[in-house]
Amino acid sequence: MTHQTTPTVSNLDILAQAHKRRTFAVISHPDAGKSTLTEALLLHAHAIDRAGAVHGKAGRRGTVSDWMAMEQARGISVTSAAIQFEYRDTVINLVDTPGHADFSEDTFRVLSAVDAAVMLVDASKGLEPQTMKLFEVCRQHGLPVITVINKWDRPGKSALDLMDEIQDRTGLVPTPLTWPVGLAGEFHGVLDRQSPGFVRFTRTPGGATAAIEARTTATAAAAELGQDWTNAAEESALLHAEGHDHDEALFLRATTTPVLFCAAVLNFGVHQLLDALVEFAPPALARADITGRQRPVNGDFSGFVFKVQSGMNASHRDHVAFVRVCSGMFHRGMVVTQASTGRPFATKYAQQMFGRERTMAEQAWPGDVVGLINAASLRVGDSLYDSEPVEYPPLPVFAPEYFRAVRPADTSKHKQFRRGIDQLDHEGVIQVMRSDLRGDQAPVLGAVGPMQFDVVEERMTHDFGADIRMEALPYQVARRTDRASAGRLGSLRQVEVLTRSDNTLLALFSTPWRFQAVAREFPDIVLENLSPSVEMESVEGAARGDKRR
């Protein structure tokens, strides 16, 4: 098949465009203010004119990134969203992540597609379990992390105590770029440690528009704020004496973390975060393929699918594949190759995403995220390329920990039921397993967290018009097995063997103790771990506190 001619573009053009990109995700524990911070960033970059909040005051809109009805109703992010905007001379790609631990698999995929992360910390709570779990994912990916201490407008821990906590628990050396003037709950502004001076913040009505900032000298700040300024200046000097100053090389090696203080709901300190992203976050760089070879950003076009989503456009019910551009120039209409099948894929319908809103994407560059429309053949983890073949490392599938048998509430809607379950499986929303014993009428759904079942129920009802009934199954552990072992396992008590849609055989066990007993009794049976890594599994256990719901 003849590929459409790529517009003429030089290697220098591609390098220049890649250098302008900053692609990052925000990670946090639920309720740390991630959606509010996202809106505040868009507001300060003039991408929107008024900030919104999921549970906002009258006159404030819903957040751009939380577009699903379930997200807006519950005030949490349950799906990833891509938002592109410009700030200064830089193109910023913010890939929003689910805010709940039950959607860790989706977050893991997003963190595979970005070049840096912003770790959002609640000033009163410090580093919470989900934050630490996601930080460990960032560590595995080698992502540089910028830390933002949020909610400084409310009572909380002392700034120095938070610095100690960050260093003790993450191993990163905190290097504050700004330092709060006033205790948590009395936020006057920040001491700018990069270009010494005081930045005063003045809130606007309802926090719906950008906060007013005014810069004054240290002398003027001392006269105005007295002891609060003196304390901030002394603490900043102490940080300098102990070597807590920003070093770009150490940050990019992910051994230090720049720190900023803000109150996202008031839009305080947000402008400083945008500046830090532009000045310090890495641009799009060469990426390793499945063999470990680096694909240069100015090579032929390549990218990989990190998310598939349907139902974003209620009128068309189309499928959107979110593709991270890794190298070269993408242009709409080009025909690329799907690495997993070797088949051509036409990109006639390519769009730039702004939450749920879309605009036509005529071209994109390394670091950008492109939404390929009507991409029913693409799956999460698929690599795409033009000319020189490349395949990027596959995205892992997490071990499910919760299981439900699902049936259509109305048997006359079996066709809609099948279509919906298959689509949600295709998107990676849920894992779908079947067996001859249960039949196709009652597949088994596997989830990392129980809230995934709520998303399935919501989507099945509203996207596919098929109400469902779910029955909890008494299993807690899943392990990969082979066909020779499956027959023996299937005859044991409190064990069931199912086939996942990717043809992986999964043995389900009622409890960890039952799994251990079977493994001891039958040491020759194949029972392989499904987790992406030992580290990820242990972190997930710690984040959940081994509690089952």
Residue 100 in marked binding region: yes
Residue 465: pLDDT band with limits 50, 70, 90: very high
Region 316-337 average pLDDT: 89
Amino acid 453: pLDDT = 95
Amino acid 80: pLDDT = 47
Instruction: Please state which of the ranges 100-104, 235-239, 255-259, 339-343 shows the lowest mean pLDDT.
Output: 100-104
Tokens of 428: 């990676």
Residue 311: pLDDT band with limits 50, 70, 90: low
CA atoms within 13 A of residue 26's CA, in its CB half-sphere: 34
Helices (runs of H) and strands (runs of E) counted in the chain: 15, 30
Instruction: Please state which of the ranges 68-72, 88-92, 121-125, 271-275 shows the lowest mean pLDDT.
Output: 68-72
What residues have CB less than 8 Å from 42, skipping those under 6 apart? Answer: 48, 51, 64, 83, 85
Q: Distance between the two ends of the chain, CA-based, in angstroms? A: 52
Q: Is 503 in a helix, a strand, or coil?
A: coil
C-alpha to C-alpha distance for 372 and 361, rounded to whole angstroms: 9
Q: Which CATH architecture has domain 287-385?
A: 3-Layer(aba) Sandwich (3.40)
Residue 99 in marked binding region: yes
Contact 527, 493 (CB under 8 A): no
Instruction: Please state which of the ranges 102-106, 109-113, 241-245, 493-497 shows the lowest mean pLDDT.
Output: 102-106
Give the mean pLDDT of the chain. 87
176-229: pLDDT as tens digits = 999 999 999 999 999 999 988 999 998 887 777 888 899 999 999 999 999 999
For residue 433, is pLDDT > 90? Answer: yes
Q: Which of 114, 112, 116, 113 is nearest to 144 (CA)?
A: 116
449 or 357, which is more confident? Answer: 449
- In CATH, the number for domain 22-280 is 3.40.50.300
SS3 content of the chain, % helix, strand, coil (to 5): 30, 30, 40
- For residue 292, with 0-12 CB atoms within 10 Å meaning exposed, 13-18 middle and 19 or more buried, which class applies? exposed
Q: Which of 51, 282, 63, 254 is nearest to 140 (CA)?
A: 254
Listed by start position, the domains of the chain span 22-280, 287-385, 402-544
Contact 542, 411 (CB under 8 A): no
Contact 145, 175 (CB under 8 A): no
Helices (H), 410-466: 414-427, 451-462
Tokens of 125: 């709570």
Helices (H), 29-125: 34-44, 69-74, 104-111
- Do 22-280 and 287-385 share a fold? yes
Residue 8: pLDDT band with limits 50, 70, 90: confident
Residue 96 in marked binding region: yes
Instruction: Please state which of the ranges 38-42, 77-81, 193-197, 429-433 shows the lowest mean pLDDT.
Output: 77-81
Amino acid 16: pLDDT = 96
Query: 208: how many CB neighbours lie within 10 A of its CB?
Result: 19
C-alpha to C-alpha distance for 16 and 90, rounded to whole angstroms: 11
C-alpha to C-alpha distance for 38 and 515, rounded to whole angstroms: 43
Q: Which of 494, 534, 493 is nearest to 511 (CA)?
A: 494
Amino acid 104: pLDDT = 74
Question: Does the structural domain 402-544 have CATH classification 3.30.70.3280?
Answer: yes
